[in-house]
Structure 1
Amino acid sequence: MAELPAELIVLMSNLSITQLVVAGSAVLFLTLVVGRLLFNGIPGKRPPVFEGIPYVGGLLKFAKGPWKLLHEGYAKYGEVFTVPVAHKRVTFLIGPEVSPHFFKAGDEEMSQSEVYDFNVPTFGKGVVFDVEQKVRTEQFRMFTEALTKNRLKAYVPQFTREAEEYFAKWGDSGIVDFRDEFSKLVTLTAARTLLGREVREQLFDQVADLLHGLDEGMVPLSVFFPYLPIEPHKKRDRCRKALSEIFAKIIQNRRTSGRREEDVLQQFIDARYQNVNGGRALTEEEITGLLIAVLFAGQHTSSITTSWSAIFMAASKDKGWLPAAEEQKAIVAKHGAELSFDALMDMEVLHRCINEALRIHPPLLLVMRYAKKPFQVTTSQGKSYIVPKNDVVAVSPNFSHMLPHVFKNPESFEPERFTKPREEQARNYAYLGFGAGRHACIGQNFALLQIKSILSVLLRNFEFELLDPVPDADYESMVIGPKACRVKFTRRKLL
């Protein structure tokens, strides 16, 4: 790095703190002005700018929350608009007409790393967003191999066992909050199938507390300043170090003893790179990082989707709970009482209910990419814009799913919209419950089996009554779940 000239160092040393702040602010403002002029001077029609007060309006709009920003921006400009945020630009693409390039483009055009690298302190070095694309592709392949059909079949009994044991403790009646209950249960099923028997049977409480500490270390400020020395980040780093030590011992014990288990951890232990890193096996630190990444990608999203599904099914019994309960009777008649892989795959009514809950409330408000090359989009009204290189590009599954020209009566719970002749999800990039395109969720089959197992146990053993209206979504959270909602349960053998 080039050194500062001696004259400048002397000058700076003679300035007061106030003078330094003023000078720094002036430099920052000048940088913003020059950047804005350069942006405005790029040839081609750019998306309209939604800012308000020059240079600070974008920050103020984000401070009010992305959901409000999306509503206001769409109402004013439609499907494409840009919000300047300090020295960066965030361009929003709303709806299936303007989304294809976002989902289809390769990482050399639309990259994830630049917008998701704030996860590196949580996941760890050497995995996912801390490695180049070809290494990340290999790591994702390893996870995909842990989710083959035969592997998924082996996980289903573990899902079912955890659900049955958990709900056996509920009693004959009572009041619960689905959000809290499913968060606990999904953590248990994840521990059993992802983290391994050792964690589930011997270290669950300790590991669960450490994972919670990691979760608390992911605050909104982390997206912009992931290494800022604030207390949540310090706790995150302590928890990450402790988890690394725990999994290092488990991995070493399995490798030295030769003992094998049916879980994703074992798949990572056995995996080897194919086209990079000399074909070596994963290190203990890489395995720990990938396990944490998989948990963060799936644990919250699965528990929240289970919560929303149960809430909507209980609130709309004629469209949700009752048809799904009748389906369970048919499934038992065909497959027997055991919740097998084939039985779960046959549950079309339940599948539609889950997909509809996921349509109304996808867990991720924004999905983002970094534009490495400019590209053109054309709206449903025929307007074309050039999105420039270096923009952060954002798509909102939540907002897109609420567009009435894409989904009829979008705020209404209507699982039948996924059946013929409606099939509203069939339009390209209309339904984004599990993402789409090159980076669609690779764990969606795992998640659906996990959610179906839990809801099937409930359908076969309980009736539910919502004591509160269907709750609002908590748009203040990193993952969009329901606010508190009291639900009365009554144990009743339905089958």
Structure 2
Amino acid sequence: MLTQYLQFAADRLGQKKTLDQLQAVVTSKQGVVGITTAVALIALANHFRSPKIDRGCPQVEGKGWFGYATEEFRENPGKFLSEWHEKLGPVYGVKIFGHYATVVSGPYVREVFLDDRFSFIAAITKLFDPNLMTDSGHSSEQTAKNAADSIKRFLSPNLKHYTPRVIEHLNLGIEDWCGEVPAEGIEIENAFPFLQHLVARASASVFVGIELAKNEELVDSFQNMVSNISSGLKPKPWLEYFPSLTKLGMYMIGKTNPAVKRHRTQMANALRPEVDRRLKAMASNDTNWDRPDDMLQHILESYPAPEGLDVITYLINWMTQLIFAALHTTSENGKVVLYRLLQHPEVMEELYAEQNEVLAAAGYDESAGPEVFDREMLNKFVKLDSAVREACRLKNEFVGLPHENTTDKTLTLSNGAVILPGEFVYINQFVNHRDPELQAAIDDVHQFKPFRFVGTDHNAAKVSEGFVFFGMGRHACPGRWFAIQEIKTIVSLLLRKYKVEPIDPIVFSNQERDAFPIGPCRIRLTPRKAL
């Protein structure tokens, strides 16, 4: 009742007034007391209202308020998941993150991924809704299904065709950032913005075309939109008990955050002249028009804007969803791979040697630059592919990939665990990615072994119970082939052009919200030709 009331009240306040009042409440002494009291009341109400049913699986004995285990989990997520898995088995219930959920590992993850009654989109939208945060309208106007469908139909089948374009724009991105690198090399203060820029340039060439990929403001939005906007949604553990307020917070970011307006304006200014030109040529059947070959053109032809919605606004909403779903995740996962390699510089030299072997077999000598790379060569970099999969396997993902029971019926897993309507199932990625049986009898599952998958049929884009990084089944990430190829291409180009070395030690955290090394990662690039 409390959360419904708060949402009711918030919906009736002006946008700016709502934000000011919420901020005043949160920062005041009375507000802190009120929030603390409300959290306690919510927890108490949930405790007594929880259905007294047989859950069909063992339960975690929470030590926090009314049986919640969130605090214990966040103290050491890996230890928490390992110990409770050993005590309770692959499926158990737990009160965590402000609600009851079922944690699933082992072969049981397949049951969740392959059952359409469990929805990842429904669950993740409740936790993090980019449509709300970017003022992109209702999800029905540009559905996640359309985005996934467009990637499957247009992007993934054409990776070979787009590889030269991606390589060209990655080289341009390196030039943007580094200029002419002297023989003694240069120092980059933080590798992540550099990596973000490369992903933005390369992805833009495929998503909006070669010419628009040169637009600095558009590339800026492709590179920085997510970090500029989501920085306003800082973790607030007490909000986990108030999903309606979490939604309200995302809504307010979309309506009031200046970064949202700036990026939407930048994209509109960049897209409008080009879209107008394309629509005019399409309407007149201009035979002299050279039809562009990119995602933007595919959207214009295959997914017309709903009636009453301005086409530019519609396309901005499309691109925003692609930026959140594709570019942002590729940048973050590329960071995981690059930082693991920087943690082991000797591995990078072995990957460079692999390049020379593949190039020699294709008739090139060691002086050949990255411009000769193609998709077939990238596929032959099997050590690199193994290193990418291994880095992703060890990414700090603990429990994630939430799936909601979207039916009005209780669902039962094969082991007897019951999931009520509206409840979440979390995938225990930490355990599955470190299970010796699922990792083909690997006995050093907690160590980074870059070449452990060489000679196996486990490439970096292949999903399984032992590698749920991209999900599984029909709803596995449709863009994983593009993401993996882009990461591999970036690493390959950097290694071909430079000797890449870390300046500071690379240390990965073991905390829930720290998937990457803490602090900036300074690197040195020294030209290979100078060496």
**TM-score with structure 1 setting the length:** 0.77
Q: Distance in 2 between matches of 1:314 and 1:25?
A: 44
Equivalent residues of 1:369, 1:394 under 8 A apart: yes
**Number of the residue aligned with 1:459:** 495
**Number of the residue aligned with 1:226:** 247
**Number of the residue aligned with 2:12:** none
| 1:49-448 paired onto structure 2 within 5 Å | 49-55=60-66, 57-58=68-69, 60-61=71-72, 70=81, 73-74=84-85, 77-84=88-95, 88-93=99-104, 95-106=105-116, 108-117=117-126, 118-122=129-133, 124-125=135-136, 130-131=139-140, 136-149=144-157, 151-168=158-175, 169=179, 170-172=181-183, 173-176=185-188, 177-202=190-215, 203-204=217-218, 207=221, 208=223, 210=225, 212-220=227-235, 224=243, 225-228=246-249, 234-235=256-257, 237-239=260-262, 241-242=264-265, 245-246=268-269, 247-258=271-282, 260-272=291-303, 283-316=311-344, 320-335=347-362, 336=364, 337=368, 338-361=372-395, 366-372=400-406, 373-377=409-413, 384-407=416-439, 408=442, 409-420=444-455, 428-448=464-484
- Pair 1:303–1:167, CA change in 2 (3 A): same
**Number of the residue aligned with 1:4:** none
Q: Distance in 2 between matches of 1:245 and 1:427?
A: 37
- My pick for the range that moved more, 339-348 or 229-238, is 229-238
Letter in 1 for 2:168: R
The Cα shift of 1:449 comes to 1.9
Q: Distance in 2 between matches of 1:101 and 1:231?
A: 36
Letter in 2 for 1:52: K
Q: Distance in 2 between matches of 1:413 and 1:110?
A: 32
For residues 285-340 of structure 1, what are the alpha-carbon distances to aligned partners after superposition, in whole Å with 9 as ceiling and x for unaligned? 3332222112112223322333333333344455x323322221132234455112
Q: Distance in 1 between matches of 2:397 and 2:212?
A: 27
The Cα shift of 1:139 comes to 4.0
Equivalent residues of 1:301, 1:363 under 8 A apart: no
User: C-alpha root-mean-square deviation of aligned residues, in Å?
Assistant: 4.2
Letter in 1 for 2:106: P
The Cα shift of 1:81 comes to 3.4
For residues 184-209 of structure 1, what are the alpha-carbon distances to aligned partners after superposition, in whole Å with 9 as ceiling and x for unaligned? 22122222222434543233465355
Equivalent residues of 2:156, 2:481 under 8 A apart: no
Q: Distance in 2 between matches of 1:57 and 1:265?
A: 46
The Cα shift of 1:356 comes to 1.2
- Pair 1:185–1:399, CA change in 2 (3 A): farther
- Pair 1:394–1:487, CA change in 2 (3 A): same
For residues 29-55 of structure 1, what are the alpha-carbon distances to aligned partners after superposition, in whole Å with 9 as ceiling and x for unaligned? 777556544534224524404432343
For residues 406-447 of structure 1, what are the alpha-carbon distances to aligned partners after superposition, in whole Å with 9 as ceiling and x for unaligned? 442122222332245796998941112322223211111111
Q: Distance in 1 between matches of 2:134 and 2:522?
A: 34
Equivalent residues of 2:173, 2:197 under 8 A apart: no
For residues 240-270 of structure 1, what are the alpha-carbon distances to aligned partners after superposition, in whole Å with 9 as ceiling and x for unaligned? 6425633455423321245632322222122
Equivalent residues of 1:50, 1:81 under 8 A apart: no
Q: Distance in 2 between matches of 1:461 and 1:490?
A: 8
Q: Distance in 1 between matches of 2:97 and 2:113?
A: 26
Letter in 1 for 2:145: T
**Number of the residue aligned with 1:493:** 529
Q: Distance in 1 between matches of 2:345 and 2:30?
A: 66
Q: Distance in 2 between matches of 1:361 and 1:310?
A: 12
Equivalent residues of 2:396, 2:510 under 8 A apart: no
- Pair 1:206–1:486, CA change in 2 (3 A): closer
- Pair 1:295–1:473, CA change in 2 (3 A): farther
Equivalent residues of 1:310, 1:455 under 8 A apart: yes
For residues 424-483 of structure 1, what are the alpha-carbon distances to aligned partners after superposition, in whole Å with 9 as ceiling and x for unaligned? 998941112322223211111111221122112122222233343332148465x83333
- Pair 1:55–1:232, CA change in 2 (3 A): farther
- Pair 1:123–1:230, CA change in 2 (3 A): closer
- My pick for the range that moved more, 450-459 or 207-216, is 207-216
Task: Structure 2: state its 5+ residue gaps.
Answer: 1-24, 283-288
Letter in 2 for 1:388: L
**Number of the residue aligned with 1:3:** none
Equivalent residues of 2:78, 2:510 under 8 A apart: no
Q: Distance in 1 between matches of 2:374 and 2:252?
A: 47
Letter in 1 for 2:360: A
**Number of the residue aligned with 1:8:** none
Q: Distance in 1 between matches of 2:70 and 2:254?
A: 23
Letter in 1 for 2:278: R
Equivalenced residues, count = 464
Q: Secondary structure at the match of 1:175?
A: strand
For residues 206-259 of structure 1, what are the alpha-carbon distances to aligned partners after superposition, in whole Å with 9 as ceiling and x for unaligned? 535555433434443598413337668621542464256334554233212456
Q: Distance in 1 between matches of 2:41 and 2:235?
A: 27
Q: Distance in 2 between matches of 1:71 and 1:237?
A: 40
The Cα shift of 1:370 comes to 0.6
- Pair 1:156–1:63, CA change in 2 (3 A): same
**Number of the residue aligned with 2:9:** none
**Number of the residue aligned with 1:10:** none
